Chains A and B, each alone.
Chain A
Amino acid sequence: SQQGEEDPQALSIQEGENATMNCSYKTSINNLQWYRQNSGRGLVHLILIRSNEREKHSGRLRVTLDTSKKSSSLLITASRAADTASYFCATALNAGGTSYGKLTFGQGTILTVHP
């Protein structure tokens, strides 16, 4: 079963606009990761945020984490047509203080950026 719930399921925007995707989870986590998947390809790691962090940036990506609400958001600024892909959040569970190997993925958000 999927721990993460993402919304929206699909997002369609114009180039240059910002895209925000949200993820909620249920159990205590060690950290949360965001991945991107282009059609027919594997997942590509974008960014990792630890449970003791609240915000993290990487280029045009900004991720926030609110452990009290068990939620995270991914913001892509100044979107490009090449950002068109599916975006997944994934959680690594906190098992006795260590970060456990397997990831639990959300259902994903399909982002379409129109040129």
Chain B
Amino acid sequence: GAGVSQSPSNKVTEKGKDVELRCDPISGHTALYWYRQSLGQGLEFLIYFQGNSAPDKSGLPSDRFSAERTGGSVSTLTIQRTQQEDSAVYLCASSLARGAGNQPQHFGDGTRLSIL
């Protein structure tokens, strides 16, 4: 079966531009997570969607970052006015139910974002 799909796999853009990253979770997974992986900070939680509940946005680093999940499936992470420190790999994961401790998270291969 299909795993978590992320696009694009690589994105290079100029500082100040907006970028949109996409995540297609595994069908039937109600929980969706975004993480950021960078050399200096390791893996950081960004945002968590669970069904129709309000998302947990506690990990978003600034108001330039936003995410939405349409129809309980596909999610997009948008970064406005990109800065060089936004360069990282953005990973999406999904799981069957709320509670990461009860279900493993399934990760996509990420989007490698480079800000020039």
> Which residues of A pack against B, CB within 8 Å?
2, 29-31, 33, 35, 40-45, 48, 50, 88, 90, 92, 98-108
Please list the 9 inter-chain residue pairs (A to B) with the smallest Cβ-Cβ separation, ordered nearest first.
A92-B101, A99-B101, A42-B107, A45-B104, A99-B99, A105-B43, A31-B101, A30-B101, A102-B45
Which residue of the partner chain B has the closest CB to A46?
B104
CA distance A104 to B105 in the complex (A): 12
CA distance A51 to B7 in the complex (A): 36
Interface extent on B, as a size class? 20 to 34
Which residue of the partner chain B has the closest CB to A43?
B107
> Mostly helix, strand, loop or mixed at chain A's interface?
strand
Find chain A residues with CB under 8 A from B98 CB: 101
Given contacts A50-B101, A101-B31, contact A42 B42 (CB under 8 A): no
CA distance A15 to B10 in the complex (A): 34
Find chain A residues with CB under 8 A from B104 CB: 33, 45, 48
Interface residue? B106 (CB, 8 A): yes
CA distance A40 to B49 in the complex (A): 25
Find chain A residues with CB under 8 A from B100 CB: 33, 90, 92, 99-103
